[in-house]
Amino acid sequence: KKRLVLILGDQLDLQGSALRGFDRETDEIFMIESAEEAQYVWTHKAKIALFLSAMRHFAQVLEADGYPLHYLKASSLSITEALRAYLLEKQIKYLVCTEPGEWRLKQSLKALAKELAIEIEMREDEHFFCTHHIFDEWAKDKKELRLEYFYRLMRKKHNILLDENGEPEGGQWNFDQDNRKPYPKKGPGMIDGPLSFETDQITSEVLEYVGEAYESHPGSLAHFNWPVTRQQALEALNYFVTYRLQNFGTFQDAMWTDTPFGWHSMLSSSLNLKLLNPREVIAAVIDGWRQHGFDLSAVEGFVRQILGWREFVRGMYYLDMPKMAEDNYYEHDRALPNWYWTGETDMACMKDAVRQTMKYGYAHHIQRLMVTGNFALLAEVLPSEVCAWYLAVYVDAIEWVELPNTAGMALFANGGRFTSKPYVASGAYIKRMSNYCSSCKYKPDVRFGEMACPVTTLYWNFLIKHRAQFDASPRTRLMTVNLNKISVEDQQAIQAHAQVVLNNLDRL
Ligand code: FAD
Ligand code: SF4
């Protein structure tokens, strides 16, 4: 019997589970470029271009390999609409796919199968170390769901960075304290890379098409330089391990004007599109460490991101959906300031993070968490608006990874289901970790008045408002101890100024 094998834009791997047991005599692959995917959030042009170029390159590989493929270019239909039409037209009764990275699509595929009374075989996505079953078993009887314990379990289970006695390499699980340095006062100096990729015919056509068809969408295509094939992704991995990994750990949290990539790997889009497998990424990084003798802290810091955070947030996403998308712990309801789409703000930190986001579709973790994320939380923006922005503007954004990071980590929208405290910080943190404040109209240590840093004002205002919550936990009590050192009059002035800031978010 004929089976239709659906391959989505973020499942571009010949070894993917959907292709297992594929019968070239009877089966057929179905791929679709659906405009709806680019429109249901106002997607950055570079993200659309990356997906389309990577999909078309993958289709080329499939065809060269002799796979029967039905590829729908630039369709105005949604994925499920297009599938419905094709399944009906060809009278196909059996659909095979890998679980989508988006809850909404997973539900609609199941609903479609039911509606058409066809069989659907939704296979587990094997690009992760942790299966749903293992994650759910681990989570099931935990009072607190914390990355650290999950990460240790993963290290042990997969025998990663363990010594011959099964103990963590270097005698500790966590080297975070070595991985939080700002750049030197004079700046980051010469940073190797990023690697440049040639724009071949497929990519040029896509860039031209996206530039026209999605002209009104945010972001630029002028700097498009993301791996669109497995070969390019492997080159990017190799380049990272050879030239950048050694400094990755130390400066993981550091920020500097016009230094969009720092020493980061820029591998997230390749991992999320499945051009790379996390197993090979971790193996390459550990090999590099053994060969070149890099600091263990850099390697452990990197492994923690992939084997720890990436797997952990995925487990949490499937465990908590659809509630995760609806949670709004603080009941915030303000609109996202317009400058999130343009970078037109006097706040130097936001300007740099947003501008580079619009230029490349990229910002590194601390920019996402402690600059734009922190501000959105302090400014009391409706979580679903913030999440839609993150999903739209980053080339690596797929809901299973974007939503838990934004709603759960940055916005505390689920009330700390998997974080021990809200990640809030004043301008002092941004000053410590960057050079932004030195060129800013505002002053990071001024709490109210014309020169006051909006981040700082809103930070103290947030603490005043949620004093009881911050007081109650030993992890955050130091913050309220510091708040109590501010005189009552100054606290009132902060609150009054915060109201002005909150009422004028678009004009900062
Ligand atoms: P590096 O700093 O080089 O890190 C290496 C790899 O570790 C990344 O490629 C990524 O695969 C993984 N990683 C690191 N941190 C995380 C994390 N917190 N969660 C999951 N994986 C992680 N990452 C995405 O891939 N897609 C997203 O849509 C996304 N949205 C985010 C939204 C917010 C608010 C925050 C705070 C973080 C988000 N992240 C997201 C996580 C992280 O910021 C990016 O993975 C990282 O910046 C990608 O750049 P890089 O490849 O250079 O990462
Ligand atoms: Fe950002 Fe405040 Fe520093 Fe300006 S002073 S760069 S707004 S933290």
CB 160 within 8 A of CB 282: yes
Atom of ligand 2 nearest to the CA of 442: 5
Q: How many CA atoms lie within 13 A of 160 on its CB side?
A: 28
Whether cis (ω within 30° of 0) applies to the bond prior to 168 is no
Reading across the β-sheet that carries 119-123, which strands appear in turn?
69-75, 28-34, 4-6, 94-98, 119-123
Average pLDDT, stretch 338-359?
97
Average pLDDT, stretch 235-254?
92
Containing 342, the helix (H) or strand (E) segment is none
CB 34 within 8 A of CB 82: yes
Atom of ligand 2 nearest to the CA of 348: 6
Q: Which of the two residues, 377 and 141, has the higher pLDDT score?
A: 377
Average pLDDT, stretch 451-480?
94
Domain residue extents for the chain: 4-123, 132-195+229-320, 338-507
Is 132-195+229-320 the same fold as 4-123? no
Tens-digit pLDDT profile for residues 15-67: 999 999 999 999 999 999 999 888 889 999 999 999 999 999 999 999 999 99
Cβ(444) – ligand 2 distance below 6 Å: yes
Phi/psi of residue 92, nearest 5 degrees: -90, 135
Residues whose CB is less than 8 angstroms from the CB of residue 68 and which lie 6 or more positions away in sequence, other chains included: 24, 27, 28, 29
Ligand nearest to the CA of 365: 1
Cβ(437) – ligand 2 distance below 6 Å: yes
Tokens of 127: 């690009």
Write down the ipTM of this complex: 0.99
Name the amino acid, one letter, at 232. Answer: Q
Atom of ligand 1 nearest to the CA of 406: 34
Q: What percent of the chain has pLDDT over 90?
A: 91
Containing 33, the helix (H) or strand (E) segment is strand 28-34
Ligand 2 mean position to 435 CA, how many Å? 9
CA distance 361 to 113: 35
pLDDT above 90 (res 1): no
Whether cis (ω within 30° of 0) applies to the bond prior to 278 is no
Residues whose CB is less than 8 angstroms from the CB of residue 373 and which lie 6 or more positions away in sequence, other chains included: 386, 406, 409, 410, 411, 423
Mean pLDDT (the chain, rounded): 95
Ligand 1 mean position to 402 CA, how many Å? 8
Residue 180: its pLDDT value, please? 82
pLDDT above 90 (res 295): no
Residue with token string 């499937």: 318
**CATH class of the 338-507 domain in this structure:** mainly alpha
Q: How many CA atoms lie within 13 A of 485 on its CB side?
A: 5
Ranking 107-121, 175-189, 211-225, 447-461 by mean pLDDT, the lowest is: 175-189
CB 407 within 8 A of CB 324: yes
pLDDT above 90 (res 470): yes
pLDDT above 90 (res 103): yes
Tens-digit pLDDT profile for residues 315-339: 999 999 999 999 999 999 999 999 9
CB 123 within 8 A of CB 97: yes
Tens-digit pLDDT profile for residues 405-450: 999 999 999 999 999 899 999 999 999 999 999 999 999 999 999 9
**Residue range 4-123, CATH number:** 3.40.50.620
Residue 151: its pLDDT value, please? 96
Cβ(233) – ligand 1 distance below 6 Å: no
Phi/psi of residue 246, nearest 5 degrees: -60, -30
Q: CA of 402: how far to CAs of 100, 118, 307, in Å?
A: 14, 32, 17
**Residue range 132-195+229-320, CATH number:** 1.25.40.80
Residue 298: its pLDDT value, please? 85
pTM confidence score = 0.96
